[in-house]
Each structure stands twice: as structure tokens, then as C-alpha cells.
Chain A
């Protein structure tokens, strides 16, 4: 089974920008992995922010964007706000199944 890797933790200043990445043990991440990005706050269910690399749900704040960057999937948070402090998970698609990364804890400080 493939392994999906994410940074364990990242810090961002209020109003700052941070980029989270999502790599695959099988090699380059492409649009064919249909990358998803989910946000989870303590005690809450996950919420999907980005699907299929860069598509947003209606509830996804404009300051979040998805992309492919340097062979990985990426989630960029611009103009970070205190409410963005959360765990972020990426998920990649492999031949009919999905694998989640270990998650990135984003701290806004």
C-alpha cells in the first residue's frame, strides 16, 4: 500500500502564508491521484476543503487553494486567520482506493 507523506506541523503568522505538501511513496503526485484536502478541528468531524487537486466546495474560504507543486500536491493558505488553526489531511487516490496522509498540524501564532 502506498504511503502518503505530510509535514507533521507548520506554523504561520496571522495574515501570513503557508504551504502544506502531500507526497506519495510511489513517485510524482499527479491530477490522476485526485488529491483531496480536509480540515479537522479538535472534537469535530473532518471537512473537505479541496477536491481533485484544486476544486473548492462552496464553503471553502477563498484563502485556501490547491495545486500540484514539485511533484507533490499542495495546499496553500494565504492571509491565515486564527480560525484556520487545525489539522489538515491530504488524501490520494490509488487504483480504486484512497490513502490519507498522516496530517499536518497548523498553528497560527
Chain B
């Protein structure tokens, strides 16, 4: 079964940082772009950014809302992608999903990040 599992969410203080993980299985994780999408409670989906595969030099792109605070990386030896976000603000509070597999084929169930003092 193709699967993505996010982890690393939790309660973080404003100004803090976090590192989320996205572990893939059941498909050729290394061949595909991994995209991060977030969703604040009761709101719509927001594209956060993506990291491409090795053939595309692991190129990254980020949304304006996180640019300068975000780093995406991946370790294809462990089929895991990462999202590091710093300078956390209340509006970063959301469920963070990763998706991949070609055409957003596979989605994780999400991990919840809450930014609050």
C-alpha cells in the first residue's frame, strides 16, 4: 500500500522552530517530488512548498508566506522528507500534510502544529 506518514507536530512557542517528517512506503519515494500543504482549522488548503527528486537536483520552491523561514530536505535512503520552519507565528498553526507519488497520488493524514504561548 502506498503511504505517507507525517510526524513531528506539536505545541511550539511563538518564535520557535520545528522539523516535520514525512515517511513514505509502498512506492518509489525517491522518484517523486514531495509537496507540503497546510490547512488551518476550518480554512482551505495552502501550498507550502516542494522538493523535487535527485534528477531535478532536489530543487525547492516555497510559498511567500514561509519563504525565508523554511527549509525542505529529503533523505531518499530512508524514504523521508523534512520540513523545517523557524520564526513560528500564530498563523503557522495548522495541520501539515505531505503529498507525493507523481500527481499528488499519495497523501499523509497530517500532523498538527500549534503555535501558542
Range, interface on chain B: 20 to 34
Question: Which chain B residues lie closer than 8 Å to A96 at the CB level?
Answer: 59, 61
Range, interface on chain A: 20 to 34
Q: Is the CB of B103 within 8 A of A100?
A: no
Query: Is B24 part of the binding interface, using a Cβ–Cβ cutoff of 8 Å?
Result: no
Q: Is the CB of A46 within 8 A of B44?
A: no
Distance, CA A47 to CA B99, complexed state (A)? 10
A-B interface contact total, Cβ < 8 Å: 56
Q: Is the CB of B44 within 8 A of A89?
A: yes
Q: What is the predominant secondary structure among interface residues of chain B facing chain A?
A: strand
Q: Is the CB of B103 within 8 A of A97?
A: no
Distance, CA A47 to CA B44, complexed state (A)? 14
Minimum CB–CB distance from B45 to chain A (whole Å) comes to: 4
Give B contacts to A, CB under 8 Å.
35, 37, 44-47, 49-50, 59, 61-64, 97, 99, 103-105, 107-110
8 contacts between A and B (CB under 8 A): A1-B64, A36-B103, A36-B104, A48-B107, A57-B103, A97-B63, A98-B50, A100-B46
- 10 nearest A-B residue pairs (beta carbon): A51-B103, A48-B104, A103-B44, A45-B107, A98-B47, A100-B45, A96-B61, A97-B61, A102-B44, A89-B45
